[in-house]
């Protein structure tokens, strides 16, 4: 801990300019009032916000039902429609305001207004209804970032169907697992798309997923948007073209009014077992979280041009692409390309072209841009920017300073936002008109979020201490449960050992509180890795590896990586007779990487594979991952190895056998 202390205590503080504070949505006074209200009257605080920012069909009379802890219901008897709140409520005031500017991989751009988007959503929602999609049905969306992906999500919300977006980089196997777990009957996809100049014909992966599922497949229809006109298999009545489905549909579709806790979506994320968790979000609490964080953290104003670079396949793309900006009637940019294609200036070109004012991206993207063209931002007019954001992992101070200086020209606050798929929106983040910024710290919990850091005995760690990051009171935007697995929801987020009788939400991260009360996220406490800001469970990759015919055992750990933050290092024990000869080592490594990519997706491919004779285990058979982590990172083994069953193994782990 000596390291973290010297690091955090010497940090410079960047205070907001007077100019920024004078125009900010929250200034020190209004912020203090909010905090006081949250403190004095917790339920009233949330109830008032929900009344202010959501258009209700029927207003709620009960703010929180906590009779079945930890299954909470917020704004219990209220009813609403999220798509109504994102579209219809703007039709009278700003029908012709641009809602979405889409930038394609090749630089082509198109845009839609609120009126047009509303029509597209109504038509597609009516199309879904014509296929038989009903309130509560699950619809998988397997599409790249596009206006249509947002239309599909909003259409589901409109008719009360529950969407589950699967990132278009996941493999057919991962898609099949999610279809089965969600028991989804409908799937929306594209024939193919271009990303980073490459053509990805993903309808083929959808067909492969349906083949994998065979007679178990619950899918009744697949809807395909024609994007590239690549050849794809069409089974009449089963495969339906998007353009045929919306043809002749009315552009009016009455919203389906649902209860506050009605599931808006399921989004799969990795946990500590091999099976991803279907995080289920509510309608009202989730929407409220998206709205207030747009206002408080991004300081959103009607005049802004907002750009979050995330893909709709992740939670960031749900909250800060599909729901938050639309709920506020924002103009936003969406992008289907990558930061490095056709070169490292695509972000800066887009900011200049559309006069983006609020820009939100991930540290891994920033680091790759520094490496590929650290001075490129200087060649563009970025004067429209007024606020920058970061998400996904701690931002290292060097990247922070580059972002602040070269992109923000030292006048844009950087909001380092800590949150999770499960929390739905920002939980800890600077309030840009209030907080002094320390590079690498996500500052403090937002008003109403009772976050704390506790030790093994459940006590607050106090200034200078480190421990488990918890949220002590239920909050409206938290996940409602894990789809189909209430038990796992309880054990994953309310584990007895940490959560105790107080019912603290346990985030799975450890954190440090510095002497000024700033929070610093230290990393995960479970076997979950963070590669390029994406969460990947080691168990998932291990189970993919051992499903290969040559593999007996595998253990995956994180290795420090300059750009990705962490990379994947796999120790593999082969079955007898499958250990490769020296000249075939590389071939088998290559084969295993391809195997993992087909089992999960390219993002889960190990960066390093080492073939070993055995894994370091305790006498009770538990793999000692800390040892593997040290070896992967080339560190000395300092921990006690007396509990190891076979201490001699350590030397053998340092090279391939």
Question: Which positions touch ligand WT7 (CB under 6 A)?
Answer: 269, 315-316, 391-394, 416-421, 442, 507-509, 521, 524, 530, 535
Between CA 235 and CA 221 the distance in angstroms is 10
Between CA 176 and CA 206 the distance in angstroms is 8
Residue 421 CB, nearest approach to ligand WT7 (Å)? 3
DSSP string, 233-301: ---TTTEEEHHHHHTT--S--PPPPEETTS--EEEEE--SSSSPEEEEE-SHHHHHHHHHHHHHTS---
> What tokens does 78 get?
């209220």
What SS3 string covers 326-350?
HHCCCEEEEECCCCCCCCCCHHHHH
Reduced to 3 states, what is the DSSP secondary structure of residue 370? Answer: helix
Instruction: State which residue, 277 or 589, has the beta carbon closest to ligand WT7.
Output: 277
Residue 524 CB, nearest approach to ligand WT7 (Å)? 5
Task: Output the CA torsion sign for 141, 83, 102, 304.
Answer: negative
User: Cis before residue 70, ω within 30 degrees of 0?
Assistant: yes
Between CA 219 and CA 185 the distance in angstroms is 4
Residue 418 CB, nearest approach to ligand WT7 (Å)? 4
DSSP string, 525-558: SSSEEEETTEEEEHHHHHHHHHTSTTEEEEEEEE
Give the residues across from 460 on adjacent strands. 454
Cβ 608 vs Cβ 596: under 8 Å: no
Q: Tell me the backbone φ, ψ of residue 128, rounded to 5 degrees.
A: -60, -45
Instruction: State which residue, 90 or 534, has the beta carbon closest to ligand WT7.
Output: 534
Instruction: State which residue, 78 or 439, has the beta carbon closest to ligand WT7.
Output: 439
Cβ 444 vs Cβ 435: under 8 Å: yes
Instruction: State which residue, 219 or 603, has the beta carbon closest to ligand WT7.
Output: 603
Residue 315 CB, nearest approach to ligand WT7 (Å)? 5
Residue 470 CB, nearest approach to ligand WT7 (Å)? 12
Instruction: State which residue, 314 or 595, has the beta carbon closest to ligand WT7.
Output: 314
Task: Output the CA torsion sign for 592, 595, 599, 600.
Answer: positive
Residue 417 CB, nearest approach to ligand WT7 (Å)? 5
Residue 523 CB, nearest approach to ligand WT7 (Å)? 7
Which run of H or of E encompasses 510? strand 505-513
Residue 419 CB, nearest approach to ligand WT7 (Å)? 4
Instruction: State which residue, 81 or 530, has the beta carbon closest to ligand WT7.
Output: 530
Looking at the chain, how many residues does it have?
657
Residue 423 CB, nearest approach to ligand WT7 (Å)? 8
Instruction: State which residue, 20 or 419, has the beta carbon closest to ligand WT7.
Output: 419
Instruction: State which residue, 304 or 393, has the beta carbon closest to ligand WT7.
Output: 393
Instruction: State which residue, 11 or 62, has the beta carbon closest to ligand WT7.
Output: 11
């Amino acid at each position: 801990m000596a390291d973290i202390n010297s690091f955090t205590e010497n940090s410079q503080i960047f205070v907001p300019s007077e100019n920024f504070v004078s125009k900010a949505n929250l200034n020190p006074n209004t912020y203090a009032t909010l905090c006081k209200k949250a403190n004095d009257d917790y339920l009233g605080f949330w109830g008032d916000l929900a009344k202010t920012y959501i258009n209700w069909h029927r207003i709620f009379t009960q703010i929180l039902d906590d009779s079945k802890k930890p299954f909470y219901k917020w704004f219990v008897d209220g009813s609403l429609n999220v798509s109504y709140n994102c579209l219809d409520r703007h039709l009278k005031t700003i029908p012709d305001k641009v809602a979405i500017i889409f930038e394609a991989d090749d630089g082509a751009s198109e845009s839609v207004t609120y009126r047009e988007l509303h029509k597209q959503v109504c038509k597609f929602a009516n199309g879904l209804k014509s296929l038989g999609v009903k309130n509560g049905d699950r619809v998988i969306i397997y599409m790249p970032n596009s206006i249509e992906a947002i239309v599909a999500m909003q259409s589901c919300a409109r008719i009360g169907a529950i969407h589950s977006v699967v990132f278009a980089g996941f493999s057919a196997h991962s898609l099949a697992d999610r279809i089965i777990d969600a028991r989804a009957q409908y799937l929306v996809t594209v024939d193919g798309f271009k990303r980073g100049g490459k053509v990805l014909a993903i309808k083929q992966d959808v067909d492969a997923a349906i083949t994998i599922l065979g007679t178990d497949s619950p899918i009744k229809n697949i809807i395909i948007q024609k994007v590239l006109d690549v050849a794809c298999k069409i089974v009449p009545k089963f495969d339906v073209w998007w353009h045929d489905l919306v043809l002749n549909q009315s552009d009016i579709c009455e919203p389906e009014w649902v209860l506050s806790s009605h599931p808006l979506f399921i989004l799969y994320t990795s946990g500590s077992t091999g099976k991803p968790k279907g995080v289920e979000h509510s309608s009202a609490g989730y929407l409220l979280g998206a709205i207030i964080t747009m206002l408080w953290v991004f300081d959103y104003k009607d005049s802004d041009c907002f750009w979050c670079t995330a893909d709709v396949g992740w939670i960031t793309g749900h909250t800060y692409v599909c729901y938050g900006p639309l709920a506020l009637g924002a103009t936003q940019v969406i992008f289907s390309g990558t930061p490095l294609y056709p070169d490292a200036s695509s972000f800066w070109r887009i900011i200049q072209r559309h006069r983006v004012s609020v820009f939100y991206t991930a540290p891994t993207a920033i680091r790759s841009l520094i490496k590929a063209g650290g001075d490129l931002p200087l060649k563009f007019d970025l004067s429209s920017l007024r606020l920058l954001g970061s998400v996904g992992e701690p931002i290292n101070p060097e990247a922070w300073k580059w972002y602040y200086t070269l992109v923000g020209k030292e006048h844009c606050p950087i909001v380092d936002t800590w949150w999770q798929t499960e929390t739905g929106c920002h939980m800890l983040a600077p309030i840009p008109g209030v907080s002094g910024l320390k590079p690498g710290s996500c500052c403090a919990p937002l008003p109403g979020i009772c976050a704390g850091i506790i030790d093994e005995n459940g006590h607050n760690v106090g200034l200078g201490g480190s421990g488990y990051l918890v949220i002590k009171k239920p909050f409206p935007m938290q996940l409602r449960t894990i789809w189909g697995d209430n038990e796992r929801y309880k054990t994953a987020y309310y584990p007895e050992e940490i959560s105790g009788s107080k019912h603290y939400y346990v985030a799975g991260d450890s954190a440090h509180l510095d002497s000024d009360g700033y929070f610093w996220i230290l990393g995960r406490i479970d076997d979950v890795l963070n590669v390029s800001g994406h969460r990947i469970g080691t168990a998932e990759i291990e189970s993919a590896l051992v499903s290969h015919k040559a593999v007996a055992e595998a253990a995956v750990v994180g290795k420090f990586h300059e750009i990705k933050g962490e990379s994947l290092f796999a120790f593999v024990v082969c079955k007898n007779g499958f250990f490769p000869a020296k000249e075939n080592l590389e071939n088998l490594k290559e084969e295993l990487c391809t195997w993992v990519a087909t089992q999960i997706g390219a993002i889960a491919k190990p960066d390093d594979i080492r073939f070993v004779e055995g894994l370091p285990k305790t006498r009770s058979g538990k793999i000692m991952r800390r040892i593997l982590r040290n070896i992967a990172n080339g560190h000395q083994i300092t921990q006690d190895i007396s509990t190891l069953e076979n201490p001699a193994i350590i030397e053998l782990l340092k090279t391939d056998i």
